[in-house]
Structure 1
Amino acid sequence: MRANKGDQLVQHGRVVGQHDKVAEITEVMGAQGAPPYRVRFEDGHEAVCSPGPDSEIRHKDMRQQRT
């Protein structure tokens, strides 16, 4: 998993009815885009996380192409 500042980290819900959590990556703390990442969730809460297999990175440039 590789990310850049400004990308989105999406943690998919693992239980039926649980929504995905979307956060903006504000700092890449690992080497060459690797985790851990400092993130800011939509509610303003910030955390440091190392994403698991239930997560994906939405790259900033790919999001701009979709709109």
Structure 2
Amino acid sequence: MRAKAGDRMVTHGRTVGREDRVSEVVEVLGSDGAPPYRVRSRDGHESVLSPGPDTVVEHRTERRGG
């Protein structure tokens, strides 16, 4: 997985009724775009994320209006 600042991380809900968690990459802590990432969630909370298989990257250039 590779990401850069401004990309979005979408972690899919693992149980029925659980919404996807969407966060924005604010800093790449690994080398050459690799994890871990410092991310900011919609409520403004920041954390460090080492994504698992249920997480996908939406690159800024791939999103509409991007």
TM range (shorter): over 0.9
Letter in 1 for 2:21: K
User: What count of residue pairs does the alignment treat as equivalent?
Assistant: 66
TM-score normalised over the length of structure 1:
0.94
Distance 1:28 1:64 in 2: 23
User: % of aligned pairs identical?
Assistant: 56
* Superposed CA RMSD: 1.3
TM-score normalised over the length of structure 2:
0.95
Equivalent residue for 1:58?
58
Letter in 1 for 2:56: E
Equivalent residue for 1:37?
37
Q: Which has the higher helix share?
A: 1
Moved over 3 A (4+): none
Shift of 1:64: 3.4
What are structure 2's unaligned runs of at least 5 residues? Answer: none
Distance 1:20 1:49 in 2: 15
